[in-house]
């Protein structure tokens, strides 16, 4: 099922530089917004590994058409920065990613003013959304923590501005990491027991990660192991890019399906519009998904 929740014209502005500390590459963002409308909700979106602010247009454009202002950073792990596993910065990139989102939220007014939409935004309706590594990043803003090598949960990275979140293909618990992941990505050890903020988790039923010895159920841990209120949208035929959420014809898409991408985009719009009590289109999109969504 997919319902187009909006057909507004959208405009994108980039790059906008955001003030940060302890980052030797400038943090830049792209803002995509509807041309019309006021009291617009905001989505801060965190991309998957190696991507940038220029990806995920199939999701972002659809969200903006539904009435959201979307802010996308280019994280330090973007392939355009050329930071590989052997780079001494790589081990702390997961922390830089979190700091990126905090910097965006702390400077959101200035970012939106730079593109002329500051006065059209409802600053009390802010959500964070992420895919893959970006989903783990977003999870920390919602209350998830990261276990260290001794199994001790680390610091609290929540941000008060974020009222709800969406985790797409989120990292599962780290006790079943493959040897490669354990060596190079030891921070893929989330503790979801403290992720108390409301969230929608989106998982593919055929998403077999090379980073875990478990099957596709690994990507449902963010739902299964976190406290309510949470919802789970499990897409039976979806693989890791869920039809191609990062873009059309991208190399890593193994299950190309534009209709599946539209489903993911519209389900997220419907969830957030319902959460923020903003679905004044007369649609029942989120209610119509109730047969496909598990909630607690």
Alpha carbon 100 to its chain's center: 13
Q: Where are the extended beta strands (E) located within 157-252?
A: 164-168, 190-191, 199-204, 230-235
Tell me how long the chain is.
Answer: 296
CB distance 133 to 117 below 8 Å = no
User: Which pair of structure tokens corresponds to residue 243?
Assistant: 């039809």
Using CA atoms, how far apart are residues 120 and 40, in angstroms rounded to an integer? Answer: 6
User: Which pair of structure tokens corresponds to residue 62?
Assistant: 């659809």
Q: Identify the pLDDT of residue 233.
A: 96
Cα–Cα distance list, 15 to 72, 123, 135, 212 (Å)? 10, 22, 23, 35
CB distance 95 to 22 below 8 Å = no
Q: Identify the pLDDT of residue 5.
A: 66
Q: Identify the pLDDT of residue 63.
A: 97
Find the helix or strand (DSSP H, E) in which 263 lies.
helix 258-275
| R_g of the chain computed on alpha carbons | 18
Q: Identify the pLDDT of residue 279.
A: 66
209 contacts: CB under 8 Å, gap ≥ 6 = 172, 218, 219, 240
Question: What is the pLDDT tens value at each position of the chain, 296 positions in all?
Answer: 455 566 789 999 999 999 987 788 999 999 999 999 999 999 999 999 999 999 999 999 999 999 999 999 999 999 999 998 888 889 899 999 999 999 999 999 999 999 999 999 999 999 999 999 999 999 999 999 998 877 888 899 999 999 999 999 999 998 899 999 988 889 999 999 999 999 999 999 999 999 999 999 999 999 999 999 999 999 999 999 999 999 988 888 889 999 999 999 999 999 999 999 986 655 577 888 877 899 99
Of the candidates 168, 252, 181, the one whose C-alpha atom is nearest the C-alpha of residue 212 is 181
Spell out the domains of the chain, with CATH numbers in brackets: 10-295 (3.40.50.1820)
Q: Identify the pLDDT of residue 281.
A: 53
In terms of Cβ atoms closer than 10 Å to its own Cβ (0-12, 13-18, 19+), residue 176 is middle
Q: Identify the pLDDT of residue 75.
A: 97
In terms of Cβ atoms closer than 10 Å to its own Cβ (0-12, 13-18, 19+), residue 292 is middle
Using CA atoms, how far apart are residues 245 and 253, in angstroms rounded to an integer? Answer: 8
């Amino acid at each position: 099922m997919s319902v187009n929740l909006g057909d507004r014209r959208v405009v994108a502005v980039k790059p906008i530089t955001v003030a940060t500390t302890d980052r030797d590459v400038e943090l830049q963002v792209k803002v995509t917004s509807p041309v019309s409308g006021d009291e617009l909700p905001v989505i801060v979106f965190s991309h998957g590994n190696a991507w940038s602010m220029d990806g995920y247009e199939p999701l972002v454009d659809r969200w903006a058409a539904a009435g959201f202002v979307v802010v996308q950073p280019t994280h330090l792990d973007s392939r355009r920065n050329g930071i590989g596993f052997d780079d001494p910065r790589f081990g702390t990139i997961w922390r830089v990613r979190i700091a990126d989102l905090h910097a965006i939220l702390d400077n959101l007014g200035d970012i939106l003013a730079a593109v002329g939409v500051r006065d059209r935004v409802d600053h009390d309706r802010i959500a964070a959304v992420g895919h893959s590594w970006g989903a783990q990043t977003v999870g920390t803003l919602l209350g998830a923590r990261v276990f260290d090598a001794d199994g001790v949960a680390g610091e609290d990275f929540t941000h008060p501005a974020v009222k709800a979140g969406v985790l797409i293909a989120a990292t599962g618990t780290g006790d079943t990491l493959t040897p490669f992941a354990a060596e190079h990505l030891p921070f893929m050890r989330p503790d979801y027991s403290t992720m108390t903020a409301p969230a929608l988790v989106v998982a593919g039923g055929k998403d077999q990660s090379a980073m875990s010895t478990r099957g596709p159920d690994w990507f449902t841990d963010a739902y299964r192991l976190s406290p309510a209120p949470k919802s789970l949208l499990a897409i039976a035929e979806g693989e890791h890019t869920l039809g191609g959420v990062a873009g059309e014809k991208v190399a890593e898409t193994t299950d190309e399906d534009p209709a599946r991408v539209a489903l993911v985009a519209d389900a997220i719009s419907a969830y957030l519009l319902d959460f923020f009590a903003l679905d004044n289109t007369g649609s029942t999109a989120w209610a119509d998904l109730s047969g496909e969504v598990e909630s607690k």
